[in-house]
Structure 1
Amino acid sequence: MPTVTIDIAKLMSSRDNRSLNFPIVRHPRTSALFLILQNEGKSGAYVKETIDLLNLFVELSPVQIRPRCLVISFNDDIRSSNKDHITTILSASWSLKFLDLSILRVNANNDLEPYSYNPFTKQFNIQPLQRIFPDKLRDMNGHTLILPIYNYPPMMTITEVIEENRTFIQGHDYLYVEILSKKLNFSLNFLRQQIEPSDPSFFPLIFAKLRSGEVNMLGTQFLVGGNIFYNSVAIGKLHSQNKFVVLSPLLPMSKLNLSLNLLLYLSLFPILVICFWLTARLLRFPKCQWGVLCVLRLLLGMSLEQVPRRLSQQLVLLNLLFVGMQYSSDAFSRITDIELLDGDVPFDTADQISLSGFSIYAPAFLQRQSFQDPSEIITQLGPKVKPLHQQGCVIRLTKYRNCICLAPYRSASYLLEQATLEYRKPVMKLSKESFLHDYLAFAYEKGSPFVDKFDKIVQRMVEAGVPKSWTGPGKRLIFEEMKDHKEGLLLKLLLAILFVGYSVAALVWLAEIWFAKRFSMHRWR
């Protein structure tokens, strides 16, 4: 490992050099190891100097996790074996959240003694040289971490059983914490938050407790890009992606889709009646037998009481019957092309959402973060969006059906599921349009020593697909409701087709009766 050692006290510059900012010191997470070389001496002043140096590291980079540090201490006095100095440095390092700090003592005979401190077992150990930095987080020995808890479904749900005086915590994100606790053997102490996440002061308050160290980590993941507090706390790995979607109301839309050919046939029908009536007039057929109503009756395919005897009338009658049969069959085939469109008002594109005239709501942090995005939907919807938490928006949407909600996909899916369960039928939908992909991560207190270890376990769970097996309540019931809804649409379509068919038959039957009574006294000659 190439190493460069610089004595800052002896570093001089002939001019103001503001570019010398020691990036490795300010961002120690990118470095593998810090080496600290010291001479113990006899006064013990090196103890204070080492602790001051550790405080300097914290001051330069207060948020990031502490780097690994190897203190190589040279002691020329073979008889000197003051362990108090070592325990003082190791204890002070843990108070500054340095988890992986080891001291390698080198005496005059070049004998090596590696020392380390396990804060979970409270033991100072002499390590073998092969493991100067032991994995102390393998077993945290019941060490207590403080987590804030709040009712934020589906990520975290708090259920209180008053009869048993017990509180149950569930949720998609809490399962991560539960698995981490069992894997690393640490206990949890919960700090209950009375403010709801829908309150605008919730996230500023929760992140203030994280910055002050009142809590060690958040129990739920948060959207890194959409939050303005992430620069003051330690951030875990961005291992999961979340997109924002559009929640829109289910507004029924039913209409008949008539074929243009059918409309053309209906418009030609009066022309056919007039043409045959004029033909009868030119051939001087009897008016009482070849009137407009009589021609209309023959075109509709109704029966005759007496066949005409004159050849000219028989030829016209034959042509009239042939045209009537052809016209009736073609018209009936066009009737079967009638479609009953039974669906929902679409909110699938940015244009449809923008032109709907509905109020559009989104969380306040979404407005702060994303409305500089150049995407089409942001460009069209950005100026129209009003700040409102997704839960409040969904309540308004299900009650009045006159607004549209922009929400993270996980929250939107849960709220959609809950609304379907409450109303026993779908009342809103997730539109096809999605936008603004953001990343999820856990947040930790400043300089937290648990970030890397927790990230490795969470990443393994995500890569193995473990979170995909976590299903929420009511999905089977929602599927059944959706199935019943689709079957209801098919039943409506079938009833509409039967209604059209029977209506046409009834009209023909009534016309037959009316014509029979109207012309019962007339006879063909």
Structure 2
Amino acid sequence: MCCWFLEESGISQRPEARVVLVGPPKGVEVVLQNPLLQNAIHALYLTLENLGIESKRKKLASALKVDLGLEEEWGNLHVYRKCLYCNAGDADVRLVRRWTPDLGLGAKDELFPDEFGDFNGHKFTVVAKRYFPYMDASLETNEPGSRLTVLDSLDTRIFLALARYLNFTFETWSTADSEFGVDKGDGNWTGMVGALQHGHADFSCGITPTRARGQVVDFSRVYIPEPWVIVSLKPQPPPQSWSLVRPLTGTVWLALVLSIFVFAFVLWLLQRAWSWVSGGRGLHLCRALMYAWGTTLEDPPSEPPANPTSRMLVVWWLMFCLVATTAYKSALIAHLTVQLESPPIDTFEDLLGQRGWGWGMSLTGSAMQSFLNTSPDPVIRRLGENVQRLSEVDRTSKVMRGKFAIVEPKYYIKAIVAKNFTNRVGYTPLHVGRKEYAIFAGLAFGYRRGAPFRSKFSESKQRMIEAGLMKHWIDDVFEAFSLKARNAKAKSGEDELLQPMSNGGPVVLSLHHLQGAFYLLFIGCACASFSFLGEKLLVRDLEAAQPVA
């Protein structure tokens, strides 16, 4: 009956509830050590002894010292308490109060003392997953679900600080599937969430708290924010093959070409009208067009038009060409020496606006995947529809090839960039977006349901947060990791593969810069060749058509 009542009351998930049980002395150990009371912080057991053969009414009256009109016959009342960690870190039963007719109820020991100031060397089981810089660990064996050896990281420093302060030890284990936690659909979860759900571990390393996960595990307060960012190749200069046309916009080029044709037509029209009036020699339309084209290229014909009206038109055309060519040449010099770059990708809108681009995220980003699929924001939904779930190697290799971006937590992806894509002087070809998306509150420790020590851990971590230790530790971990990675690259020679395209010094124009001019020359030569072939064919056809004398 007692176990049924404890199970139905859900007392195992209510550690702060006060539990008072009454029974015979022989039931103390059995009842207080019941697994249903493993999380109970305040559990008392009262025993009534030396009452002889009395009715329950007399026993109750003697225990409470209430006059019920019964014959007075006093006995002893013993109060036992369950302590969670008093027996070298294990649970035990202690006698805390004894009531006798002579001495009454003593007040030597507290009924509900604070048990979490000292865990007396209790060993906790922690479930973790490598997620640097938040958690770093190495497997002791190659078998799935084996024990981990923790390495320097933010969570490791928190674990060690709590262990020293609260006097406990811990051992860290991985999960067989190496996941944070995904709902299987039948109420059971995978990964770390599943291990906590089924009581295989006491608490976990940092994990993203969500509404769905909160239904099967408990979370402490968030101790570190986890903003998400976009990572892509740094903006690259456009191809140099179009460097000759890039100084002017398409609208300006179109207006310039139309101006040449309009000027040539007006010049031809004026010359033809003057020739009709004065009887002088007119101007052929093709020659007027070449006149306009040569003037634009700063090589006008040596003979100006004969009539004053056409000369006035040419004067204004020369002024127009002076302004246009000066502006073009100055802009061309600037474009050849200072390379313009495409705008960086900082936001989801920037990413979706790129043509032919793809994007991806990690295979274990279950919380982020759920957010992308259920967000009411159309931009987020569109991002989730085309996201690719890839491994770390595949994601980063696609980014380095270009036209691909990854969406990752800020500190996590910065660690990957620092390790694999940064040289010893700090240069990296990757761009971390400036826009930070606070999609989730951050990271928090997960606990099995009803864990009695959760409040104490949260209180201790709050002190660390207020002291500024979290920010200091993660910056220190990241700095040490980055320095180690840079030194390793310098020794291995991989550092030479990550060099900036320009050192910011004087630019010496090379074939790379002037390739557009050579392409233009080749196109001109090809056009002249085709024109020559066409002319030869035309002449041959004309000669064949003439009658033989």
**Normalising TM by the smaller chain, what interval?**
0.5 to 0.7
Mark the runs of 5 or more structure 2 residues left unpaired by the alignment.
Answer: 50-61, 64-72, 141-147, 240-245, 487-494, 522-549
| Equivalence for 1:223 | 208
Q: Residue 375 of structure 2 aligns to which amino acid in structure 1?
A: D
Q: How does 1:14-413 map to 2 (within 5 A)?
A: 25=11, 28-29=14-15, 31=16, 34=18, 36=20, 38=22, 45-46=24-25, 48=27, 51-52=30-31, 55=34, 58=37, 65-69=39-43, 86=80, 103-109=96-102, 111-114=104-107, 126-127=108-109, 132-148=111-127, 151-158=130-137, 169-191=151-173, 204=190, 206=192, 210=196, 215-218=201-204, 220-225=205-210, 231=215, 233-248=217-232, 252=236, 254=238, 256=246, 258-259=248-249, 260-284=251-275, 292=288, 317=311, 320-333=314-327, 341-343=340-342, 346=345, 348-349=347-348, 352-353=351-352, 356=356, 358=358, 360-363=360-363, 365-366=366-367, 369-370=370-371, 371-385=373-387, 387-388=389-390, 391=392, 393-398=394-399, 401=402, 404-413=405-414
Higher share in strand: 1
Q: Is the 8 A contact 1:149 1:191 kept in 2?
A: yes
Change (3 A) 1:92 1:241: closer
CA distance in 2, matches of 1:394, 1:226: 29
Deviations 1:96-145 (A, max 9, x none): 9879998443333563335xxxxxxxxxxx53x6xx54444334454443
How many Å apart are 1:375 and its aligned residue? 2.8
Secondary structure in structure 2 of the residue aligned to 1:343: coil
**Structure 1 pair 432–34 and aligned structure 2 pair: CA distance change class (3 A):** same
- Give the counterpart letter for 1:204 in structure 2: T
* 1-structure distance, mates of 2:323, 2:200: 83
CA–CA distance in structure 2, aligned partners of residues 489 and 270 of structure 1: 42
Tell me the amino acid that sits aligned with residue 40 of structure 2: R
Give the Å deviation of 1:225.
1.9
In the alignment, the residues of structure 2 paired with residue 91 and residue 267 of structure 1 have an alpha-carbon distance, to the nearest angstrom, of 90
Trace 1:503-522 onto structure 2 (pairs within 5 A). none
Deviation at 1:275, TM superposition (A): 2.8
Relative to structure 1, is the Cα distance of residues 155 and 227 closer, same or farther in structure 2, using a 3 angstrom cutoff? farther
Distance 2:261 2:193 in 1: 78
Q: 1:363 is aligned with what amino acid?
A: L
2:447 matched residue in structure 1: 444
Matched, 1:460 2:463: yes
Q: 1:251 to 1:90 in 2, by over 3 A?
A: closer
**Following the alignment from structure 2 to structure 1, what is the Cα–Cα distance between the partners of residues 398 and 24?**
69
Aligned-residue offset at 1:463: 3.7
Write the distance in 2 (CA, Å) between the matches of 1:111 and 1:460.
42
Secondary structure of 1:105's counterpart equals strand
Q: Percent of aligned positions with the same letter in both sequences?
A: 15
What letter is aligned with 1:225? T
User: Which amino acid in the other structure matches residue 162 of structure 2?
Assistant: L
Are the aligned partners of 2:399 and 2:405 in contact in 1 as well (CA < 8 Å)?
Answer: no
One-letter amino acid of the structure 2 residue matched with residue 170 of structure 1: D
Partner in structure 2 of residue 522 of structure 1: none
Q: Secondary structure at the match of 1:224?
A: coil
- Residue identity in the other structure for 1:173: D
The answer to whether the Cα contact below 8 Å between 1:298 and 1:320 also exists between their aligned partners in 2 is: no
Counterpart contact for 2:150–2:172, Cα < 8 Å? no
- Label 1:454 to 1:138 Cα distance change in 2 as closer, same or farther (>3 A): same
Letter of the 2:260 counterpart: F
- Give the CA deviation at 1:394: 2.3
Kindly provide the amino acid, as one letter, of the partner of residue 203 in structure 2: M
Does the aligned pair in 2 maintain the 1:360–1:386 contact within 8 Å? yes
Does the 8 Å CA contact 1:240/1:439 hold for their aligned counterparts?
yes
Q: Taking structure 2 as the reference length, what is the TM-score of the superposition?
A: 0.60
TM-score normalised according to structure 1 size: 0.62
